[in-house]
Amino acid sequence: MERLAKYLIADSATIKEALIALNKLSVDTLTLFVINNDQVMTGTLTDGDIRRWLVAGGSLDDCVQEAMEKKFHFLERKIDVNQVKYLRESQITLVPYLDPKGKITKIYDLKKQKSILPIDAVLMAGGKGERLRPLTEKVPKPLLPVGDKAIIDYNVDCLLSYGVEHISVTVNYLKEQIESHFKEKRENVQVECVREPAYLGTIGSVKFIPAFHHDTILVMNSDLFTNIDYEEFYLHFRKHDADMSVAAVPYSHAVPYGIFELEGHDIQGINEKPVFNYYANAGIYLIKKSLINLIPDNVYCNATDLIERLIEKRRKVIRFPLMGFWVDIGKKEDYAKVQEIAKYL
């Protein structure tokens, strides 16, 4: 989201005044949003619009209303992610967000944002990280440095780049450090830390989030290192009208021997050095907000427990294939691996 003022111009302004405003944008996207006396958006104006107007015989003293584009793209209260994807792929960079009265409340720069997802995000950061000791004796695992920033910051920054504006972090072990870490806003978004009263598993503390703003909740471990495409994850979830989607990473197991295909004691054939392909739980979930109530109160509950409960209730649980890189930083070898990956980001 960009500061608004430099992109706005009154519909009573002249073409010359518009050129001066565009010139101040310098190397920024050369687009102005035209507003009337009631601050309602009425059009867009680019250097191309002005050039075409002047070539057609217009004057620098003409009103911008004469040259502006009256049909324009905008976003409104219920953001359509497919629309955002279309605008980005069409190389339309600056997009205004209008309130019900047509007033601009935000301007998104799709050169900088990967998407604008209508979701809340919860990062689980309460664990002790015991397998990484002694590194985690005095520092919680989410705050261990990878390259030039903490592990958790890679995930928070990525969510911000997808337009997620409601981010909570559930904390327990060495919680004060994480709370201090998120004291200041990130890109005008306040990351909220929520204390877990006891160790409640990989999803139990979600029940302590005071309020959710959207119908879809992203829950993930805070110590993951991944470049998952959250936009595709969300669109896949919506396309299949799922109740819960689990990001899944491909996992293959190669058997270095010939495996007998048996029927009783009889050998029916030999499968030479077979490779078995599976999908493993990546610890990243999308869940309908209405189903959060199925997480028990103040009871240890893992995400896998919720998955099994939803399956028992015949709710739709799907998997989303995560095709990028993914590392669960559980062991020292994993921590060393992500340090190498971070060098190339």
- The DSSP 8-state label assigned to residue 191 in this structure reads P
| 227: in domain | yes
| 284: in domain | yes
What's the CA angle centered on 271, arms 270 and 275, to 5 degrees?
165
Per-residue model confidence (pLDDT) at position 27: 65
Domain that holds residue 152: 120-342
| 114: in domain | no
Which pair of tokens denotes residue 338? 């992500």
DSSP lists the bridge partners of residue 149 as: 146
- The DSSP 8-state label assigned to residue 186 in this structure reads B
| 115: in domain | no
Mean pLDDT across the stretch 203-213? Answer: 92
Backbone angles phi, psi at 105, to 5 degrees: -110, -20
Both 102 and 212 in a single domain?
A: no
Both 309 and 226 in a single domain?
A: yes
CATH number at residue 156: 3.90.550.10
CA distance 203 to 303: 5
Indicate the pTM of the whole model. 0.86
CA distance 10 to 18: 9
Both 94 and 149 in a single domain?
A: no
Both 147 and 55 in a single domain?
A: no
Domain termination site, one of 75, 109, 143: 109
Least confident stretch, 53-57, 134-138, 298-302: 134-138
Sign of the C-alpha dihedral computed for residues 333, 336, 337 and 338 taken in this order:
positive
Mean per-residue pLDDT over the chain, rounded: 90
List pLDDT tens digits, range 50-79.
Answer: 999 999 898 899 999 999 989 999 998 888
Both 85 and 180 in a single domain?
A: no
List pLDDT tens digits, range 74-120.
Answer: 998 888 899 999 998 988 888 999 999 999 988 888 988 899 999 99
Radius of gyration of the chain from its Cα atoms, rounded to whole angstroms: 25
Give yes or no for residue 1 having a pLDDT over 50. no
Which pair of tokens denotes residue 249? 């990473």
Mean pLDDT across the stretch 328-334? Answer: 85
Both 28 and 76 in a single domain?
A: yes
What's the CA angle centered on 236, arms 235 and 240, to 5 degrees?
115
**At residue 39, what is the residue type?**
Q
Both 24 and 73 in a single domain?
A: yes
Domain termination site, one of 58, 88, 109: 109
List pLDDT tens digits, range 4-46.
Answer: 888 899 999 999 999 988 888 866 678 899 999 999 999 999 9
Q: How many domains does the chain have?
A: 2
